[in-house]
Structure 1
Amino acid sequence: YSTGDEHSRGNWGHLDQVAALHWVQENIANFGGDPGSVTIFGESAGGESVSVLVLSPLAKNLFHRAISESGVAFTAGLVRKDMKAAAKKFFALDLHGDPRESHPFLTTVVDGVLLPKMPEEILAEKDFNTVPYIVGINKQEFGWLLPTMMGFPLSEGKLDQKTATSLLWKSYPIANIPEELTPVATDKYLGGTDDPVKKKDLFLDLMGDVVFGVPSVTVARQHRDAGAPTYMYEFQYRPSFSSDKKPKTVIGDHGDEIFSVFGFPLLKGDAPEEEVSLSKMVMKFWANFARSGNPNGEGLPHWPMYDQEEGYLQIGVNTQAAKRLKGEEVAFWNDLLSKEAAKKPPKIKHAEL
């Protein structure tokens, strides 16, 4: 935890990751490894960790390729600038039920060491580790696992708009949407239907966009604009390993790609051949990227680089290239949040006499 001062700056887990990468540089050759060809990758909080290391000056030259699966440092609520006030409230248990003061997990902090500035500032200045980078999300990030963990009242499979607006506000610690914007957002996503079942699905789409989709596209664009090779994907498959409690309609839930990345279907005797083939393909993509910084290879569907055309790969039963992942959604949220920011008066710094 961070107290926001020199006594406990925070980011201890990230600093452990940096130390581990130093160990790799100093020792991996003794195990037959190449210290000049290191790839880091992670999922969810691990994806955010990878994204932080891409931004951190402490990790410069410690790795050469990176993969963030369903998590980046730009995700709202995962990085905080001023932790001193938050620490005081946390230890005093002085939260008063305000979602803005709720800290359900320990966040990455701007400590001036690991992260000298907020991620958006570092990205805008293009002052980061411009290594080849894969950034990806799953089709339904809030399909089942996360809303279940967060206790969303979805057991009846439907949702009204008022409750959706309330849930979005209560999700402030991870969504970071100001209270006055929550009805605007829910109306944009849910306003086109009166069907409470569809409203539930659309609200989960909203949450997936805010927490994963929009931040991931934003990071990919900034990385691309800095001149680094960038690739994006959207995973669209329901693993046979899925819980029986997960609705059959959920395809590409948070964490679903992990089974394919680590080859679980190859170890399960009764996995469908389709899923085995998918896993082999994904592992080849990841391995090719680890070797060369390019996921493409013989016998694989073409994965376009994420350039100004914003080509990306849809990974699933029918793996194919597509363009402009979450393009409309990113435009909506950027416009909404920029208008809100413009309304706020600039902070005036007072010099001490």
Structure 2
Amino acid sequence: MTTIHSEKLNGTFEGTETDGVLEWKNIQYATITKRYDVPIVKTDYQGKVVDCTKDGPICPQIANRYDAHDGDVWSDELLCLNLRISKPKSAIGKKLPVFAFIHGGANMIGSIYGDNPVPFVKQSETIGKPFIVVQIEYRLGMFGYITNKDGRANWGARDQWAAAEWIQHFIGEFGGDTDMITLGGQSAGGMGTSYLSRRDAMEGTNLVNQVFMSSGSVGCFPPQTVEHLNIFRDLAAKKKGCKEEDLDDISKVSADELLDLQTKIGYPHGMFAYDDWFKEGIEDAVPKVEAAIISDNGFEGVIFTKKVHPDDKVEEVLNKTNLGKAVKKLYNIKSNADVCKFYGDQMLVLPNVTDAEKLRKAGAKVYRQFFDEIDPINPKMGARHAVDIFFMWHDNTDIDESENDLAKKYQTNLIKFTYKEAPWPEGEVCWIHDHKIEYGKFNPRQQCCELLKYKRSEVRELATDLGPDLTAPGGNII
């Protein structure tokens, strides 16, 4: 039941079964033969039997919470372009909607093997709307988001695009309906989804039909110039004591050495860039999608608690300008922790607010979500960044009955969306808090929306004055 013979792909894929869910892991969707190589979509598996029963390689990265895998953790920068496909066993023979997901992690960390899709897929079966989940591995950090000697960049984003192409062409071999593909992501994955949907509009490729963007869109981190990214190439080469072009050669600078250099020079996060692939103007392009769920969390800025300045410095910065004084009053800022609320809102929420309005004006159905549920595992973090995805996967059993029930309802909304059904009435907001879901014509983000009265550039500049420049060496956000 878990073996798929595909003439179209010229290969046989042997999967595994867990609790009634079929899975195929480590399906290589594209090939790269050298560092900073353009991914080529894999279309021919040369008649081989592909073992899809074990975790595949992840992109080299610093140690992080995603190190907990189903099996042994291993990395390979040239072999990490793989997919994980999951579907209910009971739905064999049916054409199913597809939810393709890009993980988060600042384009620096993360893996498709750190989140268990089985509970999500099981819920789709329970409600009678079975679907397929596809998780996308891609290049990270200075493997995926730095310039090469030719001034090209966006390798991780190129990987995501190649994965979307593979899914569009071949997910039908695994029972997917190519007319019902939703591309989604969280944090950096939300940004990737936002960027890809814009490139899709600019190129007229009609690759992206529906999107789910959680805590991330283009405006969070606008593209950088090639010249800016070259700063990090220069720093890394000097730290290594080699020529810059040697960084492109895996035989001269190994994966371990590049990862070590990334840490030593304080490469901040995986930055998108203007190059031959993401052309200037991409941040202003309007995605041509039918529908979008745009979601953010109540306390996005908690991840910046150790990044913003001490209380006395905060007071000094806020009192310098009228905008600073207005923000101080709006967010009732009395301490470093209060600043984080503003910091997260201006970086992660405000771009979502403007993106939602832009999509509505373009004719897309937009479903706005405000996830204000406290992290049940670490309540001190509040409704932290990415807490909604904790409930989406629902793969932690150490939560109470009401939280389990909430997770299932949240999953149900997302599953309905993949069926091109309204997850809740269009024009209303989905507000998730206090173990319940409410819908209505209210604006839980009213405080953040007050920032729209000011120039976006000035708001961002104020935020930068209150903390580190997140595009400069050492401005890490993880």
Instruction: State the TM-score, normalized to the length of structure 2.
Output: 0.53
- Give, as a single letter, the amino acid of the residue that structure 1 aligns with 2:426: M
Q: Secondary structure at the match of 1:252?
A: coil
Alpha-carbon distance change, 71 to 339 in structure 1, aligned in 2, over 3 angstroms: closer
C-alpha distance in 1 between matches for 2:328 and 2:276: 41
Alpha-carbon distance change, 293 to 164 in structure 1, aligned in 2, over 3 angstroms: farther
- Give, as a single letter, the amino acid of the residue that structure 2 aligns with 1:272: D
C-alpha distance in 2 between matches for 1:261 and 1:194: 32
CA deviation after TM superposition for structure 1 residue 239, in Å: 2.9
More helix by share: 1
Alpha-carbon distance change, 188 to 39 in structure 1, aligned in 2, over 3 angstroms: same
C-alpha distance in 2 between matches for 1:8 and 1:271: 48
More strand by share: 2
1:72 and 2:225 correspond = no
Alpha-carbon distance change, 236 to 25 in structure 1, aligned in 2, over 3 angstroms: same
Deviations along 1:237-263, whole A, 9 cap, x unmatched?
123222xxx62xx43111111121012
Query: What's the counterpart of residue 122 of structure 1?
Result: 285
Alpha-carbon distance change, 103 to 183 in structure 1, aligned in 2, over 3 angstroms: farther
Deviations along 1:13-70, whole A, 9 cap, x unmatched?
1111111111112211111111111111111101101111111135832232110111
CA deviation after TM superposition for structure 1 residue 284, in Å: 0.1
C-alpha distance in 1 between matches for 2:339 and 2:216: 20
C-alpha distance in 2 between matches for 1:24 and 1:165: 52
C-alpha distance in 2 between matches for 1:63 and 1:141: 27
Alpha-carbon distance change, 23 to 91 in structure 1, aligned in 2, over 3 angstroms: closer
1:177-216 alignment runs, 5 A limit: 183-191=321-329, 196=334, 199-216=335-352
CA contact (8 A) 2:406 2:436 kept: no
Query: What's the counterpart of residue 172 of structure 1?
Result: none
Query: What's the counterpart of residue 147 of structure 1?
Result: 304
C-alpha distance in 1 between matches for 2:388 and 2:410: 9
Alpha-carbon distance change, 151 to 208 in structure 1, aligned in 2, over 3 angstroms: closer
Query: What's the counterpart of residue 357 of structure 2?
Result: 221
Query: What's the counterpart of residue 171 of structure 2?
Result: 28
Query: What's the counterpart of residue 431 of structure 2?
Result: 314
Unaligned runs of 5+ in 2: 1-144, 237-265, 461-478
C-alpha distance in 2 between matches for 1:55 and 1:192: 33
1:104 pairs with 255, 258, 268, which one? 268
1:330 and 2:461 correspond = no
- Give, as a single letter, the amino acid of the residue that structure 1 aligns with 2:289: T
Q: Secondary structure at the match of 2:419?
A: helix
- Give, as a single letter, the amino acid of the residue that structure 2 aligns with 1:142: G
CA contact (8 A) 1:313 1:319 kept: yes
Query: What's the counterpart of residue 163 of structure 1?
Result: 314
1:249-288 alignment runs, 5 A limit: 250-265=381-396, 268=397, 270-288=398-416
Q: Which is further off, 322-331 or 47-56? A: 322-331
1:44-83 alignment runs, 5 A limit: 44-57=187-200, 58=203, 60-75=205-220, 78-83=221-226
Q: Secondary structure at the match of 1:79?
A: coil
Alpha-carbon distance change, 132 to 3 in structure 1, aligned in 2, over 3 angstroms: same
CA deviation after TM superposition for structure 1 residue 276, in Å: 0.5
C-alpha distance in 1 between matches for 2:154 and 2:342: 29
Unaligned runs of 5+ in 1: 95-101, 154-158, 169-180, 296-302, 342-353
C-alpha distance in 2 between matches for 1:69 and 1:340: 22
What is the aligned residue count?
A: 283
Query: What's the counterpart of residue 127 of structure 2?
Result: none
Alpha-carbon distance change, 55 to 112 in structure 1, aligned in 2, over 3 angstroms: same
Query: What's the counterpart of residue 417 of structure 2?
Result: 289
Q: Secondary structure at the match of 1:34?
A: strand
C-alpha distance in 1 between matches for 2:351 and 2:331: 27
CA deviation after TM superposition for structure 1 residue 93, in Å: 3.7
CA contact (8 A) 2:451 2:459 kept: no
C-alpha distance in 2 between matches for 1:330 and 1:165: 25
Deviations along 1:116-170, whole A, 9 cap, x unmatched?
5241x213xxxx3223111110001113xx125x5446xxxxx63533666x9xx
2:154 pairs with 4, 7, 11, which one? 11
Q: Secondary structure at the match of 2:408?
A: helix
Alpha-carbon distance change, 122 to 132 in structure 1, aligned in 2, over 3 angstroms: same
Question: Which structure has the higher relative contact order (CA within 8 Å, separation 6+)?
Answer: 1
Alpha-carbon distance change, 283 to 88 in structure 1, aligned in 2, over 3 angstroms: closer
CA contact (8 A) 2:304 2:343 kept: no
CA deviation after TM superposition for structure 1 residue 293, in Å: 4.6
Instruction: State the TM-score, normalized to the length of structure 1.
Output: 0.70
Alpha-carbon distance change, 38 to 91 in structure 1, aligned in 2, over 3 angstroms: same
C-alpha distance in 1 between matches for 2:333 and 2:346: 22
C-alpha distance in 2 between matches for 1:79 and 1:330: 20
CA deviation after TM superposition for structure 1 residue 324, in Å: 3.0
C-alpha distance in 1 between matches for 2:312 and 2:208: 46
Q: Over the residues paired in the alignment, what is the CA RMSD in angstroms?
A: 3.1
